[in-house]
Amino acid sequence: MVLSSNNTGTQVIEFLMICFPGMQHWLSILLAPLLVLALGANFVLLMTIWQEASLPEPMYYLLAILSVLDVILCFTVIPKVLLIFWFNMKTVSFSGCFLQMFIKNTFLPMESSTFLVMAYDRYVAICHPLRYSSIITEQFVINAAIFIVFCNLLGTVPTPVLAAKLNYCASNVVENCICANISVIKLSCGDIHLNKLYQFVSVWCLLGSDLVLILLSYCFILRALISLQSGGATTKALSTFGSHLILILFFYTLLLVFIFTNKAGKKIPSEVPILLNVLHHLIPPALNPIVYGVPTQEIKQGIIKLFKF
């Protein structure tokens, strides 16, 4: 254990990440290709939006925001997990751990809020098509981006700040691959009830409100699609609507399962919530550009142009 001495006693200066002993080789075979897919798909989508002049619509700016968030989440979590698996690099500095906690806790709700704005975009496009160009403007996207950043920063910054202020004077072994708030604060010598309460309230207020509003938007969209007179247009729109809804439900379901399995304690093996947490930072980023970007004709044509030599 690496410790330092100060006026208040002994203090942990780095953490040791322990997870999936005996399973790391097999898990790395799963995680590495998914990381390549996630980063590759998002970079291709970002380059397509940047280079293709025919993609000025606000919807594509929202796709770009989603891709940037996906890339940041992947880079923050998965490379470190693979370094643990491949090279046994289990140590992480005190400041590095809380930096990862900050990024993970802040950018995940930002992604949730981006899903909400995209759901509203689709709601306006399908339910109020004649007013779409006057409602969903570049200024709307700028205001939405500012709201996404500042609202989630205000709601999530206290989580890593409160955790960093605790006194870590005992073990430095984190039973996780990621510097998750609950896994780290369990090592503290102080009272962690406020930390747990704040994380619980902030998660349900931010992600819970997003989920409710997203589902409400999709209910209105579904009602509008069912009332369409054109059978072919209805089928195509329902197909797109269904793939988007499935991906969003997957995003929130995986998160909810992780939360409840984490709360279940010893009733469920500790590896289950840890694996779900890792996959939650990898599978949605791998699927988002494929589900949202590739089916769009303009994006598809842009990708073809990008790879033409």
- DSSP string covering 180-194: -HHHHHTT-SS--HH
Count Cβ neighbours within 10 Å for each residue of 165-195 and write b for 16 or more, e otherwise. Answer: ebebbeebebbbbbbbbbbbbebbeeebeeb
Number of Cα atoms under 13 Å in the Cβ half of residue 76: 27
pLDDT tens, 148-193?
999 999 999 999 999 999 999 878 999 999 999 989 999 998 899 9
Return the closest-CA partner of residue 213 out of 102, 308, 119. 119
- Residue 234: the pLDDT is 63
Return the closest-CA partner of residue 126 out of 59, 67, 60. 59
How does residue 247 score in pLDDT terms, banded at 50, 70 and 90?
A: confident
- Residue 266: the pLDDT is 61
More confident residue, 229 or 61: 61
**Which pTM value belongs to this model?**
0.89
Q: How far apart are CA 282 and CA 31, in angstroms?
A: 8
Contacts of 103 (CB under 8 A, 6+ apart): 72, 73, 76
Helix axes 58-87, 94-127, angle to 10 degrees: 150
- Residue 91: the pLDDT is 94
How does residue 147 score in pLDDT terms, banded at 50, 70 and 90?
A: very high
Phi, psi of 229 (to 5 degrees): -80, -35
Residue 203 corresponds to which tokens in the numbers above?
């998660």
Residue 27 has pLDDT above 80, yes or no: yes
Q: What is the mean pLDDT of residues 71-80?
A: 94
Q: CB of 18 within 8 A of CB of 175?
A: yes
pLDDT tens, 181-214?
989 999 998 899 999 999 889 988 999 899 999 9
Q: How far apart are CA 232 and CA 204, in angstroms?
A: 39
More confident residue, 57 or 283: 283
Three-state secondary structure readout of 167-178: CCCCCCEECCCC
Q: How far apart are CA 158 and CA 21, in angstroms?
A: 32
- Residue 235: the pLDDT is 66
- Average pLDDT over the chain reads 85
Q: CB of 85 within 8 A of CB of 27?
A: yes
- Residue 3: the pLDDT is 52
Residue 8 has pLDDT above 60, yes or no: no
Residue 74 has pLDDT above 90, yes or no: yes
